[in-house]
Amino acid sequence: MAKDPAFLFYPNDWHGGTMYFTHEQKGAYIDLLILQFNSGKFTLAQAKQVLSICFAQVWPILKPKFKTEDNLFWNERLLNEMQKRSKYSESRRNNALMGKKDPKNGPAYAGAMPAHMEDENENRNTDVNKTGNRKPRAKKKAEEMGIWELCVKTWFDFYESKFKEKPSFAGRDPASMKKLLELVSQRVIGKNFEWTAITCSDHFLKFLQRAYADPWLSQNFLLQNLCSQFDKIIVNGKNGKINGKEPTGGNVDVASAFEKIDRMFSKTGNS
């Protein structure tokens, strides 16, 4: 069978997953996807050859988009789409052959195509729960973006709201973000919340707010610093302390504010 010359591309998903990428990063990302489409799982050496001089700059950003095993890298979504399209093409070919063998099955058979012939993402397009009710649009959109994309967006939005500029998100930042999300996920799962993009991003935002209340961290607001100070931020936030001391001045009750956030989030998390 000839090689499939195409794969399905979903513009909305692409936009949601790359909205904070530079044009250079987007171009490098699509180059790696095409490399995988043409050659299968690829090595780091192949990625360096394809990306050439921009590899060092873009690979730390793109690496979380790919799974890795035995020194090979691949994008899971692309792999699934290629496999699904291959099965679809094979079923069409088999149906055509069966129609030739039995002409009586021509038009009638064509009208009775099996369900697996439908070339669409039913879980994305219908997204209906067991009761038959559609999920709220905001929640559905967040889940489609995925935990990584939504939390990165949360980081960019929070940073820009405080410092009036976007973070660089280069070098060790993607690895630090991954570590932070692992720490946040342990707390979310430990509280018996459902592990979704929304619960993770909400807890992550609450963590960022606690971290920014620390005077030193507010002046050194880097992902690696947030990782190293994670436990301290959580403890001080619960105790209503800033930088290990009771807050002074103003009328803001930090502990009370975080307790209200926790109670409010608990209600929404259990609904």
Mean predicted confidence (pLDDT) in 236-245: 56
Structure tokens at 53: 């001089």
* Rounded Cα–Cα distance for residues 129 and 127 (Å): 7
Looking at residue 228, its amino acid is S
* Rounded Cα–Cα distance for residues 202 and 188 (Å): 10
Q: Which CA distances in Å does 119 have to 3, 5, 82, 83?
A: 18, 16, 12, 12
Highest-confidence segment of 14-18, 29-33, 79-83, 124-128:
29-33
Mean predicted confidence (pLDDT) in 63-74: 94
Angle at 99 between CA 95 and CA 102, to 5 degrees: 135
Structure tokens at 80: 């699934």
Give 77-135 pLDDT, tens digit per residue. 999 988 888 887 777 777 767 665 555 555 444 444 444 444 444 444 444 344 444 45
Q: Is the pLDDT of residue 1 over 70?
A: no
User: Of residues 270 and 237, which shows the higher confidence score?
Assistant: 237
Q: Worst-scoring range by mean pLDDT, 14-23, 49-58, 213-222, 247-256?
A: 247-256
Confidence of residue 142 (pLDDT cuts 50, 70, 90): very low
Q: Which CA distances in Å does 252 have to 159, 240, 247, 248, 256?
A: 22, 10, 9, 9, 9
Q: Is the pLDDT of residue 187 over 80?
A: no
Partnered with residue 242 across adjacent β-strands are: 245
Q: What is the pLDDT of residue 8?
A: 83
Cβ–Cβ < 8 Å for 170, 61: yes
Percent of the chain at pLDDT above 90?
28
* Rounded Cα–Cα distance for residues 110 and 104 (Å): 11
Q: What is the pLDDT of residue 40?
A: 93
